[in-house]
Structure 1
Amino acid sequence: MNVDEVLRLRDATPGCAQVIHFNHAGASLPSQATLDAVIGQLQREALGGPMETADIQVQQRARTAAAALLNAQPEDIAFASSGSAAWSQAFNALGPWHPGERILVGRHEWAGNLACMAEAVKAGARLEVIPCDASGAVDPQALAQMIDRHVRLIALTWLPANGGLINPAAQIGAIARHHGIPYFIDAGQALGQLPCDVQALQCDVLKGAGRKFLRGPRGTALMYIRPQFLQRLLPVQRDVLSAPWDGQRFTLRDDARRFETSEVSLALLAGLANALEEHQRIGATAIRQRIVELSQKLRLCMKRIPELTLRDLGSANEQSGLIAFTLEGWDCLALKQALAERRINIGANGVAYTPLDMQARGLNSIARVSVSYLNTEEEIEILLTNLAELAAQPQISMSTQSP
């Protein structure tokens, strides 16, 4: 991705002229075309009637683009309001849990997923953490030693929200498939940041939000379900779309839309479709290369600020565009606010979001910079200058957790 292409993409993104945005892991900046797609659909509904202007082509475009993103088929894709909602639906569709059944998770599992698993634990299931290797990543060899007939689910957060680690998702998938164990991937931070092939990952369920590196609207998410696994999932929530009346009974659909309802925001899906198509035109490989180049430079420069400590895990040769750190003398949320006052957006996470990993490492909170292909070297220099300035004037605030 050359400089001219980056500038063209930035010119097509109104937010780039307003803020320096390093919180793409929270929510990225949409393009004007994505905004136009959302607003255009809303205008059609306002002028012609929401039901009357419900164009099925909008959903088909979004589903086709999502399938291309994941190397799947359109019928394997379901849409949801959030990644957490999608994951919860799939998990609950596994059916009741029983004493002695085991759930194996990475230490970096997203708290929303853990909250769902807590109900299974109440029923007697055991939640067990897969050991990490020397880099802090989930260890496939350790996982292989944990497998027995009581393991009912393996769950992995591919790219954790609290740092640059990239877990070995495909290796985990090979083990899960070999033993016939269901395998769920939380790809919330992966989609739009690096190539994602569900066939190579060998997962049964994969979910991710539209608002992050894909640059889609908030309130959108997608979920892939392996077709051979679909019949094992019985959704708790059903309606006339997911379980239509066939003349004699209500029968669940035989595609991933058994997890959808008839009520959907076509405006948001129109925006998501545009964002997915933009991503496809740029190319996942070019995006990954750009993010690697920028984040590697930023990590090296951040190490030169004496008061700053990087909190990333993983191999230095393969990390994501999420950079976790703490700054001496600064509460992470206070630092985020101080930078926001300078029109620089970063993120900050507390223990509640990745509790197993944060507690294991003794961290109360981390500040997080997340890099996109939209960012520039000039923005990196401005961020570094401001971090150095703030490091020279520490201001500790009451520690709280990120909303």
Structure 2
Amino acid sequence: MIDLAAVRADTPGATRGVFLDSAGSSLPPRPVLAEVIGHLEREAEIGGYAAARERADDLEAGYGVLAELLGAEPDEIAFTDSATRSWLAAFDAIPLGAGDRVLVTEVEYAGNAIPILHRARQVGAEVVAVPSDASGQLDLDALDRLLDERVKLVSLVHVPTNSGLVNPVREVADAAHRVGALVLLDACQSIGQLPVRADELGVDLISGTGRKWLRGPRGTGVLVVRRGVRDRLRPRLVDLHSGQWVGPDEIRLREDARVHELWETSVADRLGLVAAARYALDLGLDEIASAVGDRAERLRRGLRELPGVEVRDIGRRHAGIVTFTVEGRTADEVAARLADDGVTVTASRVGSTRLDMTRRGLGEVVRASPHYFTEPAQVDRAVEAVSRCGR
């Protein structure tokens, strides 16, 4: 069990109202702050290159830390500056041509859908959305009907930005692999709140961020590339870190996941990301998932009891994102009123998950995302604040 008092003492922002936006950008703990700020101060003292050399061993060890977190090997880990960069690096390296198909879910995120549709138009590929089942998760029977030799990629969102849904992953990966398709898992909203292990989920690629549930710095991301799919990828976004210039007209690319990295990076932020991963591992991923699930379900129960408030979460299994609407109030109005009461939430709009929101007739929802450092009493306080929004 997580020591609530200890993690709150480690979280400077935890006492400043009720923070329910870890799905946006969470509150980093003190060890993360110490790494980032300490390294920036060292850069100011001796310069960025010298400061990086001092931490070379720690930076190298970071691959092992993220590999432990994500059920991978160190050579399957790449660091990037965001979940978007991780996802784009993976997607751009997957060969696609005329007549090929990319399957997406109805909860596909706009940051993925836009590049998928853009590239499909360029090469003549087809993008097909797998229908959801009655619960709202991906319909596995419908997936089976769509899978054939034309499908080169299944883009799977683990936890969408606009609801508490957790999509089935292993079942999707197993089905996709039967026809030779790759599976790219967007774990942007799951890494740090749920166990996400490549060796257990069976996917080929995983993209994620540091700033959300993992409680790392902004401007950090991670990409997992399993060894078995490296030869199928064709990285295009490469530089002098991704490869070597070995002759006047000859280059040699790296053979590990770091081929997807670029030379320039924020060393301070990367050290902060590694510290955040260590912090999560020390707490225990199962313990984190249990605590987050407890807070989220407490919030859902409280909201369901309020007149004029409708919880909008879908799926058979729920994670830490809780979405709802308040009759007669826009999402921005609710967020503003809650902010006046010291409760931090955000809004999710149709443009972020157009297929799902359109299917459900929603233009926007209020999104609340309690983490393990949120006290149960704070959840109750948030429910009481929502009750005043409809008055």
Same fold (TM over 0.5): yes
The 2-side partners of 1:343 and 1:294 are apart by 18
Matches within 5 A, 1:199-348: 199-247=199-247, 249-315=250-316, 318-348=317-347
The 2-side partners of 1:127 and 1:196 are apart by 26
- Displacement of 1:247 after TM fit? 4.9
Does the CA contact (< 8 Å) of 2:71 and 2:200 recur in 1? no
The 2-side partners of 1:243 and 1:234 are apart by 13
The 2-side partners of 1:147 and 1:234 are apart by 23
Q: Does residue 47 of structure 1 match 2:48?
A: no
Does the CA contact (< 8 Å) of 1:174 and 1:201 recur in 2? no
The 2-side partners of 1:13 and 1:300 are apart by 26
- Displacement of 1:240 after TM fit? 1.1
- Displacement of 1:94 after TM fit? 1.6
Tell me the alpha carbon deviations over residues 153-212 of structure 1, each in whole angstroms, 9 at most, x when there is no partner: 111101111011110011101111222211100001110111111112111110011001
Does the CA contact (< 8 Å) of 1:177 and 1:202 recur in 2? no
3-state SS of the aligned residue for 2:87?
Answer: helix
Matches within 5 A, 1:109-188: 109-122=108-121, 123-188=123-188
3-state SS of the aligned residue for 1:51?
Answer: helix
Q: Give, as a single letter, the amino acid of the residue that structure 2 aligns with 1:206.
A: I
- Displacement of 1:342 after TM fit? 2.3
The 1-side partners of 2:151 and 2:238 are apart by 28
- Displacement of 1:57 after TM fit? 2.2
Tell me the alpha carbon deviations over residues 317-343 of structure 1, each in whole angstroms, 9 at most, x when there is no partner: x21111111001111022112212222
The 1-side partners of 2:326 and 2:68 are apart by 41
Tell me the alpha carbon deviations over residues 220-258 of structure 1, each in whole angstroms, 9 at most, x when there is no partner: 010100111112222222111101123572111000110
The 1-side partners of 2:341 and 2:388 are apart by 12
The 1-side partners of 2:223 and 2:133 are apart by 29
The 2-side partners of 1:353 and 1:114 are apart by 9
Listed as ranges, the gaps of 5+ residues in structure 1 are 393-403
Q: Give, as a single letter, the amino acid of the residue that structure 2 aligns with 1:120.
A: R
Tell me the alpha carbon deviations over residues 256-311 of structure 1, each in whole angstroms, 9 at most, x when there is no partner: 11011111111001111111000000000011111122212221111110110111
3-state SS of the aligned residue for 2:244?
Answer: coil
The 2-side partners of 1:68 and 1:98 are apart by 35
Q: Give, as a single letter, the amino acid of the residue that structure 1 aligns with 2:61.
A: R
Does the CA contact (< 8 Å) of 2:100 and 2:152 recur in 1? yes
- Displacement of 1:58 after TM fit? 3.2
Could you tell me which residue of structure 2 aligns to residue 397 of structure 1? none
The 2-side partners of 1:231 and 1:49 are apart by 38
Does the CA contact (< 8 Å) of 2:104 and 2:129 recur in 1? yes
Does the CA contact (< 8 Å) of 2:76 and 2:224 recur in 1? yes
- Displacement of 1:19 after TM fit? 2.8
Q: Give, as a single letter, the amino acid of the residue that structure 2 aligns with 1:385.
A: E
CA RMSD of aligned residues (A): 1.3
Does the CA contact (< 8 Å) of 1:58 and 1:269 recur in 2? no
The 2-side partners of 1:280 and 1:75 are apart by 19
Could you tell me which residue of structure 2 aligns to residue 399 of structure 1? none
Q: Give, as a single letter, the amino acid of the residue that structure 2 aligns with 1:296.
A: E
The 2-side partners of 1:304 and 1:23 are apart by 22
Does the CA contact (< 8 Å) of 1:105 and 1:128 recur in 2? yes
Could you tell me which residue of structure 1 aligns to residue 69 of structure 2? 69
TM-score, normalised via structure 1 length: 0.93
3-state SS of the aligned residue for 1:66?
Answer: helix
3-state SS of the aligned residue for 1:53?
Answer: helix
Could you tell me which residue of structure 2 aligns to residue 20 of structure 1? 18
3-state SS of the aligned residue for 1:174?
Answer: helix
Q: Give, as a single letter, the amino acid of the residue that structure 1 aligns with 2:276.
A: A
- Displacement of 1:67 after TM fit? 0.5
Q: Give, as a single letter, the amino acid of the residue that structure 1 aligns with 2:7.
A: L
The 2-side partners of 1:365 and 1:143 are apart by 27
3-state SS of the aligned residue for 1:330?
Answer: coil
Does the CA contact (< 8 Å) of 1:137 and 1:165 recur in 2? yes
Q: Give, as a single letter, the amino acid of the residue that structure 1 aligns with 2:152.
A: R
3-state SS of the aligned residue for 2:153?
Answer: strand
Listed as ranges, the gaps of 5+ residues in structure 2 are none
Q: Give, as a single letter, the amino acid of the residue that structure 2 aligns with 1:348.
A: A
The 1-side partners of 2:177 and 2:350 are apart by 32
The 2-side partners of 1:80 and 1:44 are apart by 22
Could you tell me which residue of structure 2 aligns to residue 60 of structure 1? 60
TM-score, normalised via structure 2 length: 0.96
Tell me the alpha carbon deviations over residues 341-373 of structure 1, each in whole angstroms, 9 at most, x when there is no partner: 222111211111111111111110010111211
Q: Give, as a single letter, the amino acid of the residue that structure 1 aligns with 2:376.
A: E
